[in-house]
A and B are shown apart, each in its own frame.
Chain A
């Protein structure tokens, strides 16, 4: 009886919410997008798709915003809407709900989803870390901390934005390679924007951050300890294009057109960094000076699967993943 009442209540709330929705049934899990209403004419050579793509509100997404303004997606019949969702972990539930068709996210989300066989696939790369020079992210510490190299991180508290992902895995490897004990690093979770303040407050000894926070600390009272990606798997993918196997099966034209558009967009973005930075100022409200100093990644659609395998193996080695994902099932490079 009580259960019935609770279920009924939840049901009514859900119904009430569904009633004020003009979108297709939100619980539909087909992942298939609605073709644009104007495009019912089958004689048109290319179908137009309305596509919602989740992307983090971070510097890397500048490439996407700029490419949209450039008309690259429209040219490929992709009417794209960027959903700037916070927290990559939520992109997968949103994919499964059918609300979004693609997500730009770190490869660890799909790794974990694959362990549960959720039908999540990586269809292409998006952004890679840099093989040399100043990388896109770093472990930073205050000059007064006495942490000079990765070996000094042993026994210290180091923040990452989410535990059990590429950040802590590559940091552990960097510490190990430098002769430190990777297991002694105390990882804590802190959102990137909090790191500079947490360092100053001595709540953490070091923190893993991308720009603009990397430059804020390194340009202030701190310095870069190590670029963990570059130090362990140079050029490792930072962000990838994610969708569902179901979408590929049921809507191959959509996936083909989206992939072609994304490929062109990323190639274009890598040679139009000024446009990417301008898009950041416009969409993220990053001050212009800060946007100018941001280290941009290598934008590419071509996955380096060996790098991802290496990352998964490291994660298994450190007990972050129970088993390496099934890469044949997970990687569907378009």
Chain B
């Protein structure tokens, strides 16, 4: 019984801590403009911002913005994932290709996606495709690099064993390469999901495709600071939800994996 109650406390602890963290953050937010550390005109306090947000939640335009943002994000992440898993697997499995592309990958990877905005507009104009180019470019590398290392990480003893047992190429892929790469891929996709969301908002701000990012710019142009921060809160909440969803997927897909099993033992 002692064991049970301590378990209940343990499982509730992250939620309590999370709630306390949010509360602490809100208090700090409320205090900063009140103390005049930042002029409240340009940085509205938490209550004003959340009141505005509550008002916005009753409007169709905010939900349209959220939908547009999630659509661009989802499309971008899906395209990036498919491309990255395909290329990462092929290149990762062929040592020759890996060596041949290594320098190029390390050259392309650090290029900030935002720097490609003029190119994206030149190719696609102020359209969703331009935003997708920016989103896909940034999130591609997250998954690609994980896929690359994931498929190459197969335990050599396991590989030799599979060979000596005469497993076919597809059997080896299914029961050896895939399970080895999966934790890498899931991590990559979770990181890519966050990066894709950041770049979705950025693209909307600077390319002008509809969504939360564009509305932030509009509110700035109208000197409507409360609205700016209300929308910023929305992006934060979206980021949080994306992370929660992908953590859940990770736990489900990798429940057999020691990293996840280990977490539950703690």
A residues sitting closer than 8 Å to B (CB atoms) are: 1-3, 5-6, 9, 12-14, 16-18, 20-21, 23, 26-27, 52, 54, 57-58, 83-87, 89-90, 93-94, 96-100, 191-193, 196-197, 200, 212-213, 216, 284-287, 290
**Chain B hits for A286, CB < 8 A:** 221-224
Contact B100 A17 (CB under 8 A): no
For B97, what are the chain A residues with a Cβ–Cβ distance below 8 Å? 5
Q: Is B133 an interface residue (CB 8 A)?
A: yes
- Please determine whether B217 and A16 come into contact, CB atoms closer than 8 angstroms: no
A2-B101, A3-B104, A197-B39 known; A26-B223 Cβ under 8 A: no
- What is the chain A residue whose CB lies nearest that of B208? A85
Of A2, A20, A58, which one neighbours B129 at CB under 8 angstroms? Answer: A20
Contacts of B208 in A (CB 8 A): 57, 83-86
Tell me the bound Cα distance from A14 to B129 in angstroms.
9
- Interface contact B221-A193, CB-CB below 8 Å: yes
Is the Cβ of B103 less than 8 Å from the Cβ of A2?
yes
Q: Considering the complex, give the chain A residue whose CB is closest to the CB of B82.
A: A16
- Per the bound structure, the CA–CA distance linking A284 and B39 in Å amounts to 24
- Interface positions, chain B 27-44, Cβ under 8 Å from A, are 39, 41-42
- At the interface, yes or no: B54 with Cβ under 8 Å from chain A? no
A residues in contact with B121, CB < 8 Å: 90, 93-94, 97, 99
Q: Which residue of B lies closest to A58 (CB)?
A: B221
Q: CB distance A13 to B136 under 8 Å?
A: yes
Please, which residues of chain B bring their CB within 8 A of the CB of A20? 75, 79, 128-129, 132
B residues in contact with A94, CB < 8 Å: 121-122, 125-126
Docked CA distance A286–B219 (Å): 7
Q: A96 to chain B: which residues have CB within 8 Å?
A: 122
Q: Is B133 within 8 A of A13, CB to CB?
A: yes
Which A residues are in CB contact (< 8 Å) with B75? 20
| Contact between B220 and A17, CB atoms less than 8 A apart | no
How far, in angstroms, from A134 to B197 measured CA to CA in the complex?
43
Provide the residues of chain B in CB contact with A85, threshold 8 Å: 126, 207-208
CB < 8 Å: which of A26, A52, A192 contacts B124?
A: A26
Q: A216 vs B123: C-alpha distance in the bound complex, in angstroms?
A: 39
Contact status B127-A21, CB under 8 Å: yes
Q: Taking the nearest CB of chain B, how far is it from the CB of A288, in angstroms?
A: 11
List the A residue with the shortest CB-CB distance to B217. A86
Number of interface residues of B (CB under 8 A): 44
Closest 5 CB pairs of A and B: A99-B125, A286-B222, A193-B220, A2-B104, A93-B122
Residue of B nearest to A12 (CB): B83
Q: Contact between A6 and B124 (Cβ–Cβ < 8 Å)?
A: no
Closest B residue to A100 by CB, please name it: B125
Q: B139 to chain A: closest CB distance in Å?
A: 11
Q: Is B222 a contact partner of A98 (Cβ separation < 8 A)? A: no
Q: A13-B136, A57-B218, A57-B221 are in contact. Are A26 and B104 (CB under 8 A)?
A: no
Bitwise interface map of B from 76 to 93 toward A, beta carbon under 8 Å scored 1, else 0: 000100010001000000
Using CB atoms, name the residue of chain A closest to B96. A1
Q: Which of A3, A5, A27, A89: most chain B Cβ within 10 A? A: A5
| Interface residues as binary, B211-236 with A (CB distance below 8 Å gives 1, 0 otherwise) | 00011011111111001000000000
For A216, the chain B residues whose CB sits under 8 A away are 223
Given A2-B104, A94-B125, A99-B125, are A13 and B218 also a contact pair (CB < 8 Å)? no
Known interface pairs A13-B140, A98-B125, A285-B218; 9 further A-B residue pairs with C-beta atoms within 8 A, sorted by A's residue number: A2-B104, A20-B75, A26-B127, A84-B208, A84-B214, A93-B122, A99-B126, A284-B222, A290-B223
Smallest CB gap from B121: residue in A: A93
CA distance A54 to B214 in the complex (A): 14
Picked from B100, B118, B129, the residue with its CB within 8 Å of the CB of A90 is B118
Whether A17 touches B126, Cβ cut-off 8 Å, given contacts A2-B100, A2-B101, is no
* Closest partner residue, chain B, to A216 (CB atom): B223
CA distance A98 to B126 in the complex (A): 10
| B10-60 interface with A by 8 A CB criterion | 39, 41-42
| Chain B hits for A6, CB < 8 A | 104, 108
